[in-house]
A and B are shown apart, each in its own frame.
Chain A
């Protein structure tokens, strides 16, 4: 998945604010286990992805995360020994002991799976809608060399993939019976590594001549705050405040064991609605979203 600038309010927002907004959403998913809140966050992330024009990217991420989420949801009832509402008895299983499937363990498995899905989608939205160069700029003021190294290392992955594909093609082009001995897998890995090192040396030379050797503390960007920066910052603060309020007021209370406690009344529904509204309101303003 790679970032591409699209005409959306999220893409038009500075990286620091976009990161804070996504962190607020992910924070809600980590802080609460109440399914209504998790569903509200999931709905917010999916709708935000669609509004940002990266719905397809999120869909691909969801396809990858769904099996993991499902696995967690299925494993938890099998390994969990907690919960009092037994809905199926599986008898004695070696090593695991008595296999009693409880409603609480099943529900908690579902909650954990849902949480994984939300976090993966938050990460996918970050990758598709937050400019990595802006993020690099953000972190370079803290640790430029580490940030740049991390960025370049990440970009080397597709380069290495291309190199190994090219090398494999070249090996297919060798005349049958022409070589003294066929290339082993180790030889191929060694050749890809050597090629990557050559390439790394070239990139390092480029960094040198672009003044990387003299890097000093980067000047702050000094970019004026756009309406989208302000809107997403306000949204992030609102999400954080809602989370804090829910924690203090006990609105997001959820206990899986020993007996399921997940109150779902007007307060919880209002909280979920407020989360969705706070997260999505910044997308309503479509002025100045293209660059």
Chain B
């Protein structure tokens, strides 16, 4: 039986000329795990919001067609009625928690449905135990980390055991560890409780292995609705931007079928005797420890030199511990680590927003910093007031000069914010970016990586903090891994990223770090090399 049935749905947001969804027909059966794939603006979020009843009851707009959730027609039933059958989780954990404690947050949806106190207490306990958050029940919600908050929000969405859970990029703001944990949790809920899952995510490599089916949306229309392997076959020719790194590597190496996950890819390679021996011993220290991996200093002054920097909060914890880091001109460095490792604080210190409590920071000139939310830079009424015309033209934004900055797309607003921090009479010696790829699709990440390479080739050092190992591998030639405020490893990207479990790319996971291959192209070359030496696929 279908828990979600969408028939010929066409929807247009109020005030927007073109439809967000056009003649969409899909269904999700009981106990299915469905992944929604598509680039930004393809209609994934709108489809999920139609399933939760927010479209049209909350957003308004024009709608035709039908959406049924567990037999309830969303035209007749609003989000409140549907919440018993469909739990919903959005991207930003901070706006999804409305109560003061975790216990109250989990109880809130049950109380809203008029459950008796015993049923509320039981629902809270069960949701907490299922999600492993029982120890958080009496913690104030404002003290929780992003990963914990997202778990609590998922718990609130699951309280009362809905038949389907709709998730809109729930891992986009989490570090790789917390993101993997959340997807693992969803998989367990799906397998053990039989809850149907509909998950929209840009990081398909993270969730395809758990999926029964993938629905790909392009321009608001369903372009593909197939099992993961068939979807990847389709994406290879029709939507290369939606391919996972593993599938891209297989396609370039001429291997079939495309793998939906690391386990499947390794099984295929093993079956064909193509699985290379890992070059690094698991658990071994990378060759370059803290402070290593730096290219030799040239005649020019260093772009950025962080010397024994500490950041100790008054009556608080020590955020940075004796960090020493040198960036030469033109060097591209990725700063990685779990949430709370000290990445943002280090960037703020580098840019002069924070003064280190100990240590010194030297730079060859201005240090530009792009903070996490590009919207924070945009405070004027028109784009043309934000930036000088020539800088606007250089950023390719002169065509939107008369628009309100808040009406720009995500990519445009980020380009504008980057142009704002880079503009000025004096070009920056170093450019720092704090988590610039949150919620970005692959195409926009590629575009940003291009901009950063350009900036580096003009002489600026680039220091980018990111959770996205694929982006780090594509952008950086050196990776610094932070943990609990200290440098855990610092070295060339292939060395650091090929040896880990979490802070590594899918290609490196599949190949077990062999040949220090990080990107699909490098992995494919390695596999082709093995094919040429006589191993038959």
Interface residues of A (CB under 8 A from B): 2-5, 131-134, 136-137, 148, 151-152, 155, 158-159, 166-167, 169-181, 183, 187-188, 190-191, 194-195, 199, 202-223, 291
Contacts and interface: CB of A to CB of B under 8 A. Distances in A.
Interface stretch (B277-285, B372-380, B489-497): B372-380
Contacts of B88: 209
Given A211-B113, A220-B117, A221-B117, A173 B369 contact: yes
Given A209-B53, A210-B98, 7 more contacts: A148-B98, A166-B373, A178-B421, A194-B406, A209-B54, A213-B81, A215-B80
Contacts of A174: 377, 420-421
A3 B366 CA distance: 43
Among all A-B residue pairs, the 8 with the closest Cβ atoms: A178-B423, A213-B80, A175-B424, A214-B80, A133-B104, A170-B376, A211-B112, A202-B95
Contacts of A191: 376, 378-379
A260 B385 CA distance: 69
A187 B379 contact: yes
Given A175-B368, A180-B386, A219 B116 contact: yes
B513 interface: no
Interface in B67-116: 78-84, 87-88, 90, 92, 94-96, 98-101, 103-104, 108-109, 111-116
A138 to B, nearest CB: 12
Contacts of B100: 3, 131-133, 151, 155
A15 to B, nearest CB: 11
Interface in B392-420: 406, 420
Given A169-B376, A170-B377, A219-B117, A178 B391 contact: yes
Nearest to A221: B117
Contacts of A180: 384-388
B371 interface: yes
A152 B98 contact: yes
Contacts of A204: 58
Contact of B95 (A170, A183, A199): A199
B156 A210 contact: yes
A209 B83 contact: yes
B83 A173 contact: no
Contacts of B192: none
22 contacts: A2-B140, A2-B142, A5-B140, A133-B100, A151-B100, A166-B376, A173-B351, A175-B422, A176-B425, A177-B424, A178-B387, A180-B384, A187-B380, A208-B58, A208-B78, A209-B87, A210-B98, A210-B112, A213-B78, A213-B81, A218-B111, A223-B117
Contacts of A173: 351, 353, 368-371, 377, 421
Nearest to A135: B100
A173 B419 CA distance: 12
Nearest to A192: B379
A248 B214 CA distance: 78
B384 A5 contact: no
Contact of B379 (A2, A158, A171, A218): A171
B124 to A, nearest CB: 12
Contact of A211 (B109, B140, B426): B109
Contacts of B388: 178-180
Contacts of B54: 205, 208-209
B52 interface: yes
B118 interface: yes
Given A166-B376, A173-B353, A206 B422 contact: no
A180 to B, nearest CB: 5
B108 to A, nearest CB: 6
Given A133-B99, A203-B95, A208 B80 contact: yes
B454 interface: no
Contacts of B366: 175-176
Nearest to B49: A205
Nearest to A209: B88
Contacts of A217: 114
Contacts of A3: 100, 140
A166 B371 contact: yes
A117 B385 CA distance: 51
A5 B138 contact: yes
B111 to A, nearest CB: 6
A156 to B, nearest CB: 11
A170 B380 contact: no
Contacts of B57: 208, 213
Given A133-B101, A209-B88, A219 B111 contact: yes
Contact of B98 (A158, A206, A214): A206
Contacts of B424: 175-178
Nearest to A291: B138
Given A131-B100, A133-B100, A180-B387, A219 B115 contact: yes
B64 to A, nearest CB: 22
Nearest to B353: A169
A93 to B, nearest CB: 45
A73 B452 CA distance: 64
B113 to A, nearest CB: 5
For B82, B100, B368, B379, the residue with the greatest tally of chain A CB atoms inside 10 Å of its CB is B379
Contacts of B348: 169
A175 B425 CA distance: 8
A167 B80 contact: no
B101 A131 contact: yes
Contacts of A158: 142
A211 B84 contact: yes
Contacts of A203: 95, 98
A175 B423 contact: yes
A54 B506 CA distance: 49
